Amino acid sequence: MAGSLNTGTSTIPLKLASSITIVVNQLWDDEVFLEQVTPTTATLLKYWFYDAHCESRFLNFHKGQKQAILNTIYLHEILKVKTVLEIYEKCNRELLQELDLEMLSREKYNIPKYAMKMATGTGKTWVMNAFFIWQYLNAKAENEKSKRYSKRAYCPLR
């Protein structure tokens, strides 16, 4: 069954985000999240989110920023999704019935794409800077280049 052509404004992406968040928070609470990411990512996440580091800093990520970072890293490193459709397939297959699958098969959706819905003034720029650091440090640490990480802030589309 085809859904709205503009799935970005329907409730479908929010349902997807909610289902991702539930899994991510369980992995984080069970302390297995860090075992499933690169050593570089694990070190960054400990520095950004562990109490020992947070208590020594004046400024830290807030709960929404932390969730955006964890959800994106989960999709990219743990699930290794490569397309928008794959995010739905791996995270909430039931939502596929509500989507326009023909639209999601278009070329512009066949690259890794992640989105964080954050209100104005909630620190999106800080989250994006964290992603630049995460990508860069992982790219530098890779022995064999996987093309999953970039040292460049700009990555041209295919």
Amino acid at 127: V
What CA–CA distance (Å, rounded) separates 19 from 32?
Answer: 18
Sequence-ordered list of residues with C-beta below 8 angstroms from that of 87, at least 6 positions apart, any chain: 16, 75, 79, 81
pLDDT in tens, 103-148: 878 888 777 767 777 888 888 889 999 999 999 999 999 888 777 7
pLDDT in tens, 21-51: 999 999 999 999 999 999 999 999 999 998 8
Quick: pLDDT tens for 63-114. 999 999 999 999 999 999 988 889 999 999 999 888 888 887 888 877 776 7
CA 23 to the chain's CA centroid: 13
The pLDDT, as a whole number, for residue 99 is: 83
The two three-digit tokens of residue 155, written as one number = 């990555």
CA distance 137 to 131: 10
pTM confidence score = 0.84
Point out the least confidently predicted range of 57-61, 79-83, 153-157.
153-157
User: Any idea where the domains of the chain sit in the sequence?
Assistant: 7-123
Q: Which helix (H) or strand (E) holds 69?
A: helix 63-73
Please state, in angstroms and rounded to a whole number, the distance separating the CA atoms of residues 33 and 46: 11
Cα gap 106→33, rounded to integer Å:
32
Q: Which residues contact 112 (CB under 8 A, 6 or more apart)?
A: 75, 76, 81, 82, 83
Residue 42: both structure tokens together: 């694990």
